[in-house]
Structure 1
Amino acid sequence: MGILKLRKNKKFSYTPRTYDDKGEGNPFEIKHKFDEFRKTVGPNKGIKGKFNDAFDDLKSNPDNEANKRILIIVAVLVLVFLFIIDFDLSIFLPK
């Protein structure tokens, strides 16, 4: 170990466990497994393009049961919140 001599780093021939032997793709790329099926993932767009893609994705989604379930849960939570703060719901009813 010389005072002015820098130490060299060790080199290893490392291949990741999940690396495909065929050499397809980058083994270090982190990619979500559903990215290829979504329209909203991809190059950066303006806010209008993002909203249009999100609405198209929502419309083309065949699983509308989950959307209805989420809306029902949100409505129930809003009603519980209004009940807790003693909000008068009679203003929404006709006289």
Structure 2
Amino acid sequence: MGLMKLKKNRKYNYKPRYYKGEGSPYELKHKFDDYRKTINPPKGIKNKWNAAVDEYQNNRDEKVNKRVFIIAGILILLFLILIGFDLSIFFPKS
């Protein structure tokens, strides 16, 4: 009868006429996939954290380390201001 059957999708084997490259021209790939380990890490928070720490340790760049410390310092300072911490203890009295 055909009322309960699902319709099958048509499949096309389209190949571009003038493409002579390697692989599929329609494959989407991030340009840093070859250099990073954390693109598709194993599932779970612990495994994701370990992969990120491993990538950070293997990439020894002084500018990145300095930038991370500056951002962390600014965020800690903003947090202390937000909770109302008395910052005058860090400055000498004149």
Q: TM-score category by the smaller chain?
A: 0.5 to 0.7
Q: Which amino acid aligns with 1:21?
A: K
Question: Residue 30 of structure 1: which of 5, 17, 28 is its match?
Answer: 28
Distance 1:58 1:26 in 2: 32
The structure-2 alpha-carbon separation of the partners of 1:14 and 1:20, relative to structure 1 and needing over 3 Å to count, comes to closer
How many residues align? The count is 76
Q: Which amino acid aligns with 2:85?
A: F
After superposition, the CA RMSD in angstroms is 3.3
The structure-2 alpha-carbon separation of the partners of 1:77 and 1:45, relative to structure 1 and needing over 3 Å to count, comes to closer
Matches within 5 A, 1:43-62: 45-47=42-44, 48-62=46-60
Matches within 5 A, 1:1-95: 15=16, 21-22=20-21, 24-42=22-40, 45-47=42-44, 48-83=46-81, 86-89=84-87
The structure-2 alpha-carbon separation of the partners of 1:35 and 1:76, relative to structure 1 and needing over 3 Å to count, comes to same
Which consecutive segments of 4 or more residues in structure 1 shift more than 6 A?
A: none
Question: What SS does the corresponding residue of 2:60 show, helix, strand or coil?
Answer: coil
> Identity across aligned pairs (percent)?
47
Compare relative contact order (CA 8 Å, sep 6+) and give the higher one, 1 or 2. 1
Cα deviation code 1:5-54 (max 9, x no counterpart): xxxxxxxx8739xx8513x1111111111101111123x52223322221
If the length of structure 1 is used for normalisation, what is the TM-score? 0.56
